[in-house]
Amino acid sequence: MALYSTPILGDNLDASMRANYTFVRADARAVLNNYYLGLIEDIATGPENDDIDLEGHMAKTETTTETTDDHIQIEELDEELATKAREELGDEKIIEMLRSMVLQRRFEQHAGRAYQRRKIKGFCHLYSGQEAVAVGSMTAATDDDYVVTHYREHGHALARGMEPNGVMAELFGKKTGCAGGRGGSMHLYDVERNFLGGWGIVGGQIALGNGVAFAAKYRDEEAVCLSYLGDGAIHQGIVHETLNMAALWNLPLIAIVENNEYAMGTALERVSAVKELEKKALSYDMASETVDGQDVFAVWDAISRARKRAVTGEGPTWLDVRTYRYHGHSMTDPATYRTKEEVDEVRDLRDPIVRLRNWLVNEDILTQEDIDAIDDEMEKVVKDSVKFADESDFPDVSTLTDNVYVEWPAEID
Ligand X SMILES: Cc1ncc(C[n+]2csc(CCOP(=O)(O)OP(=O)(O)O)c2C)c(N)n1
Q: Which of residues 253-272 bind ligand X (CB under 6 A)?
A: 258, 260, 262-264
| Cα dihedral across residues 49, 53, 56, 61: positive or negative | positive
Positions 145 through 164 that interact with ligand X (CB under 6 A): 152
User: What are the DSSP calls for 289-350, one per residue?
Assistant: EEEETT-HHHHHHHHHHHHHHHHTT---EEEEEE---SS-SSTT---TTS-HHHHHHHHHHH
Give the residue closest to ligand X by C-beta: 230
Under the criterion CB under 6 A, does residue 227 sit at the interface with ligand X? no
Positions 223 through 262 that interact with Mg ion (CB under 5 A): 230-231, 260
Which of ligand X, Mg ion, another protein, none does residue 39 bind (CB under 5 to 8 Å by kind)?
A: another protein
Under the criterion CB under 5 A, does residue 263 sit at the interface with Mg ion? yes
SS3 at position 37: coil
Report the amino acid identity of residue 272.
Answer: S
Give the bridge partners for 288, in sequence order: 318
Number of residues that bind ligand X (CB under 6 A): 15
Under the criterion CB under 6 A, does residue 200 sit at the interface with ligand X? yes
Q: What does the per-residue mask of binding to another protein show for 332-351, with x meaning CB under 8 A?
A: -----x--------------
Q: What is the 3-state secondary structure (H, E, C) of 234-272?
A: HHCHHHHHHHHHHHHCCCCEEEEEEECCEECCEEHHHHC
Under the criterion CB under 6 A, does residue 39 sit at the interface with ligand X? no
Positions 161 through 190 that interact with another protein (CB under 8 A): 173-175, 181-184, 186-187
Positions 272 through 301 that interact with another protein (CB under 8 A): 272
**Rounded to the nearest 10 degrees, what angle do helices 296-311 and 79-89 cross at?**
60
Question: Is the CB of residue 158 less than 8 Å from the CB of residue 167?
Answer: yes
Under the criterion CB under 8 A, does residue 28 sit at the interface with another protein? yes
User: In this complex, which beta carbon is closest to Mg ion, that of residue 194 or of residue 205?
Assistant: 205
Q: Return the closest-CA partner of residue 355 out of 117, 73, 24, 67.
A: 73
Positions 171 through 230 that interact with Mg ion (CB under 5 A): 230
Under the criterion CB under 8 A, does residue 395 sit at the interface with another protein? yes
Under the criterion CB under 6 A, does residue 105 sit at the interface with ligand X? no
Which of ligand X, another protein, Mg ion, none does residue 3 bind (CB under 5 to 8 Å by kind)?
A: another protein
Q: Return the closest-CA partner of residue 156 out of 380, 146, 85, 291.
A: 146
Positions 116 through 135 that interact with ligand X (CB under 6 A): 125
Which of ligand X, another protein, Mg ion, none does residue 8 bind (CB under 5 to 8 Å by kind)?
A: another protein
The Cα–Cα gap between 411 and 388 comes to 34
Which of ligand X, another protein, Mg ion, none does residue 152 bind (CB under 5 to 8 Å by kind)?
A: ligand X
Q: Which residues contact ligand X by CB under 6 A?
A: 125, 152, 200-202, 230-233, 258, 260, 262-264, 329
